[in-house]
A = this chain, B = another copy of it.
Amino acid sequence: MTDVAVAGGGLIGLAVAWRAARRGLSVTVVDDAPGTGASAAAAGMLAPVTEAGYREEPLLRLGLDSLARWPAFAAELEAAAGTPVGLRTVGTLVAGFDEDDVRELGALHAFQRELGLAAHRLTPREARRREPALSTRVRGGLLVEGDHSVDGRAVHAALLAAAQAAGVVLVGDRVVEVVADGGGAGGLRLASGDVVAADATVLALGARSGGLPGVPPLPVRPVKGQILRLAGAAGLLEGTVRALVRGRHVYLVPHGDRLVVGATSEDRGFDPRVTAGGVHDLLHDAIDVVPEVSELELTETLARWRPGTPDNAPLLGPSSLPGLVLATGHHRNGVLLTPVTAEATAELLAGGTLPEVAVPFGADRFESEPMGRTQWS
């Protein structure tokens, strides 16, 4: 019997486990391939401002809260694991290439000023002074100083080490069911047939959270993303560059010698295929924005599934099944929301109360309405 059983050893599951263990709880994480799902694909942007839609203010507030936690979270994690997580706080440049883009940058800037966030409009020359590799076709830019980045894979590796150092038990098996225990959740059943019995069970299975036997229906669907990794990019970019290219958003996130280019967003269920069209579009748009990308080595192509929800915000806190705690549905914001998710969930598990910041994100927000329509969408 353990205090907490966590289904899923991606960024969210491991971070929850680590923080819960640091609060003195005994924790077991079950995953047959930790960190090979969406966590392996994530570019590592910490970008609540450039990522949030204008009508997603509750999510934006959650993102800003989590962003503010990142420096201390990263420092504590690096100290616990003894390995770096690659936090970069140089800001993000959003580039526009035609009149529509530049108009959108203006609207984004106005929205940011309303919220009191630091952002500056840049002329094309200023944009290229900041990022000399940018295409000469750039027509305007916006420097969002508060949008940062982290190396998602390095964070996952550090969380694995830190969680184990804090006493978390990692079981390398597949979760097949949340087991019932007197009307509530009593732990996890594994593919081997073993059961990890627990007082509290945390669901952190990402896009696969919705379909697990024993779990009440959840509005989580897979949103396929294809993403590329390139090598030879040392010195190419100062920080993250985002752009709109003929209606398609593309981002380029530098991590030392590597550059992550993403991402498609496709409604194709659990289609695992890296497609010719997906890779073409990403390469095309990245080369359009930063022509020298053409010369980089293409080292990896990957397709994974974001855990999408009707309002693009996560599912946090208690579920309708007593004993089952949700930490899923993070859609495009899993890396960004890792600290707030881990700390709020650990507070619920150890202290019994979900912190105020996470309260708007209960699964019950969807219950009174047909799935897909909410107050925010």
Contact = CB atoms under 8 A, between A and B. Distances in A.
Contact of A283 (B273, B276, B286, B296): B276
A76 interface: no
A279 B279 contact: yes
Interface string A286-318: 110000011111110100000000000000000
Given A283-B283, A287-B280, A273 B297 contact: yes
A74 interface: no
A274 interface: yes
Contacts of A293: 276-277
A38 B16 CA distance: 49
A376 B232 CA distance: 40
A280 B283 contact: yes
Contacts of A275: 294-298
Contacts of A228: 276
A276 B286 contact: yes
B277 A294 contact: yes
A230 interface: yes
A161 to B, nearest CB: 32
B283 A279 contact: yes
A284 interface: yes
Interface in A169-215: none
A271 to B, nearest CB: 9
A302 to B, nearest CB: 11
A contact residues, range: 20 to 34
A136 B195 CA distance: 59
B280 A295 contact: no
Contacts of A279: 279, 283, 298
Given A274-B298, A295-B275, A298-B301, A284 B287 contact: no
Contacts of A287: 276-277, 280
A330 to B, nearest CB: 27
Contacts of A299: 274
Contacts of A273: 232, 297
A276 B296 contact: yes
Interface string A241-284: 00000000000000000000000000000000111110110011
A284 B283 CA distance: 10
Nearest to A299: B274
A326 to B, nearest CB: 33
Contacts of A296: 275-276
Chain B CB within 10 A, most for which of A280, A286, A296, A301: A280
Contacts of A294: 275-277, 280
A264 to B, nearest CB: 12
A117 to B, nearest CB: 33
A45 to B, nearest CB: 20
Interface of A: 228, 230, 232, 273-277, 279-280, 283-284, 286-287, 293-299, 301
Given A277-B294, A280-B280, 6 more contacts: A274-B298, A275-B297, A275-B298, A277-B293, A280-B283, A301-B301
21 contacts: A230-B276, A232-B273, A273-B297, A275-B294, A275-B295, A275-B296, A276-B283, A276-B286, A276-B293, A276-B295, A276-B296, A276-B297, A276-B298, A277-B293, A277-B295, A279-B279, A280-B280, A280-B283, A280-B294, A284-B284, A301-B301
Closest 4 CB pairs of A and B: A277-B294, A280-B283, A273-B297, A276-B296
